[in-house]
Amino acid sequence: MTTMINGIRKMIESGESIMPVVDLLGFNIKSADSGRSEVEMVMAEKLANTMGTLHGGIYCALADTAMGLAFASMLGEGETLTTLELKINYLKPVWNGKVLAMGRVVKKGRLTGLVECDVKDENGQLVARASSTFMAISDGRLKERTTPA
């Protein structure tokens, strides 16, 4: 049986891009397996807000990526996913250094799942916490929605 996580593992091992936004923002997928994931990035000036700290949208994209990979690691053959909602609390600014997002599935049902993510700076300090609801989409439903009428 081919699952989404098998494909993700192959991409991580080969260095192949998992998705364009990961490359654009400089994210490094460290791991994804068994409802957990780790995604790392290095703060860069181009990712700063007007105060010189990591832009909130980048925190959010990092957390969404980590949570999506954690949820994807639990999907079966022919399934993909979409984010239904996302909430994030910003706890501390980051001016420089590495940032690590750790996603974990709290509960996965047949169609939806609750996923959380802690984002920490390189000193292990919690800088943001996010939660999200994801929906699993089977190939059949995906084709229905993308087939022109």
Structural domain for 64, as ranges: 4-146
Nearest C-alpha neighbor of 65 from the set 3, 14, 17, 127: 17
- CA distance to 10, 14, 111, 113, 131, per residue, from 107 (Å): 26, 30, 11, 5, 12
Amino acid at 50: T
State the pLDDT at residue 51: 95
**CATH number of the structural domain spanning residue 123:** 3.10.129.10
State the pLDDT at residue 148: 44
pTM of the entire structure?
Answer: 0.88
Domain count, the chain: 1
Burial of 108 (0-12, 13-18, 19+ CB in 10 A): middle
Burial of 125 (0-12, 13-18, 19+ CB in 10 A): exposed
Q: Tens place of pLDDT for every residue, the chain, 149 residues?
A: 457 778 778 877 887 778 889 999 999 999 999 999 999 999 999 999 999 999 999 999 999 999 999 999 999 888 899 999 999 999 999 999 999 999 999 999 999 999 999 999 999 999 999 999 999 998 754 444 444 44
